[in-house]
Chain A
Amino acid sequence: MKGSILVVDDEEVILKSCKRILEPEGYDVSTALSALKAIELLEGAKPYDLVITDIKMPGMDGMEFMRRLRAKNPEICIVLITGHPSQESIKEALALGIIDYLPKPFSPSLLTETTAKAMEVRKKSVKTDSQDFTGEMAEKLAEIIRKHKNKPGSLIPVLQEAQELVGYLPPVVQRHIARGLNLPVSEVHGVVSFYSFFSMKPKGKHNVRVCLGTACYVKRAEEILARLKEQLQIDIGEVTVDRKFSLESVRCLGACGLAPVVVVDKDTHGSVNPVKTMDILAQYE
Chain B
Amino acid sequence: MDKFRANLMLCGGTGCIAGGGLKVKQAMDAELRKRGLEKEINVVITGCNGFCAQGPIMTVYPDGTFYEKLTPADVPEIVEEHLLKGRPLERLMYREPEKKQPLPVMSEIPFFNLQVLRALRNKGLIDPENIEEYIARDGYKAAAKALSSMTPEEIIQEMKSADLRGRGGAGFPTGLKWELCYMVQAPLKYILCNGDEGDPGAFMDRSIMEGDPHVVLEGMIIGAKAIGASKGYIYVRAEYPLAVQRLQKAIKDAKAYGLLGDDILGTGFNLDIEIYLGAGAFVCGEATALMRSIEGKRGMPIPKPPHTTTQGLWRRPTVLNNVETYANIPAIILNGAAWFKSLGTEKSTGTKVFALTGAVNNIGLVEVPMGMPLRKIIFDIGGGMKKGRKFKAVQLGGPSGGCIPEALLDTPVTFEDIAKTGAIVGSGGMVVIDDYNCMVSVAKFFLEFTTDESCGKCPPCRIGTKVMHDRLVDITEGRGKEGDIELLEDLSHDIINTSLCGLGQSAPNPVLTTIKYFREEFESHIKEGWCKAGVCRPLTTFYVDQESCKGCGACARVCPQKAVSGEKKKPYSIDQTLCVKCRSCYEACKFGALKIGPGSLGKELIEKAKGVQTR
Q: Which residues of A contact B (CB under 8 A)?
A: 152-157, 159-160, 190-191, 194-198, 212-218, 223, 250-259, 261, 267-270, 275
Chain B residues, CB < 8 A from A255: 14-15, 18, 52, 203
Q: How far is the CA of A46 from the CA of B278 in the complex (A)?
A: 40
Closest A residue to B355 by beta carbon equals A256
Q: Which residues of B contact A (CB under 8 A)?
A: 14-15, 17-19, 51-53, 55, 197-203, 206, 238-240, 276-282, 293-299, 314, 355, 357-359, 363-364, 395, 398, 429, 431, 433-434, 437, 442, 445-446, 449, 453, 455, 560, 582, 584
Closest B residue to A215 by beta carbon equals B357
Do B239 and A256 touch (CB < 8 A)?
no
Q: How far is the CA of A257 from the CA of B14 in the complex (A)?
A: 10
Do B200 and A252 touch (CB < 8 A)?
yes
Which residue of A155, A258, A261, A275 is within 8 Å of B296 (Cβ)? A155
Please list 14 pairs of residues, one from A and one from B, whose beta carbons are closer than 8 Å in the complex, sorted by A's number: A194-B281, A194-B455, A195-B279, A197-B278, A197-B279, A198-B280, A215-B431, A218-B442, A253-B14, A257-B55, A258-B18, A261-B18, A269-B18, A270-B18
Do A152 and B238 touch (CB < 8 A)?
no
Do A252 and B202 touch (CB < 8 A)?
yes
A155-B296, A253-B239 known; 17 new pairs, CB 8 Å cut-off, are: A152-B314, A157-B276, A160-B238, A196-B279, A214-B357, A214-B358, A218-B437, A251-B239, A251-B280, A252-B200, A252-B201, A253-B14, A259-B357, A267-B18, A268-B14, A268-B18, A270-B15
Which residue of B276, B398, B434, B453 is within 8 Å of A214 (Cβ)? B398
Shortest Cβ gap from A130 to chain B (Å): 23
Do A194 and B298 touch (CB < 8 A)?
yes
Report if A257-B363 is in contact (Cβ < 8 Å); known contacts: A160-B279, A214-B398.
yes
Closest A residue to B429 by beta carbon equals A214
Chain B residues, CB < 8 A from A215: 200-201, 357-358, 363, 431
Shortest Cβ gap from B273 to chain A (Å): 15
Residue from A194, A269, A275 whose CB has the most chain B CB atoms within 10 Å: A194
Report if A256-B203 is in contact (Cβ < 8 Å); known contacts: A197-B238, A214-B431, A270-B19.
yes
Do A256 and B52 touch (CB < 8 A)?
yes
Closest B residue to A198 by beta carbon equals B279
Q: How far is the CA of A104 from the CA of B202 in the complex (A)?
A: 62
Chain B residues, CB < 8 A from A190: 298
Shortest Cβ gap from B282 to chain A (Å): 7
Chain A residues, CB < 8 A from B17: 268
Shortest Cβ gap from B210 to chain A (Å): 9
Do B240 and A254 touch (CB < 8 A)?
yes
Chain B residues, CB < 8 A from A270: 15, 18-19
Do A258 and B19 touch (CB < 8 A)?
yes
Chain A residues, CB < 8 A from B276: 157
Do B200 and A194 touch (CB < 8 A)?
no
Shortest Cβ gap from A183 to chain B (Å): 9
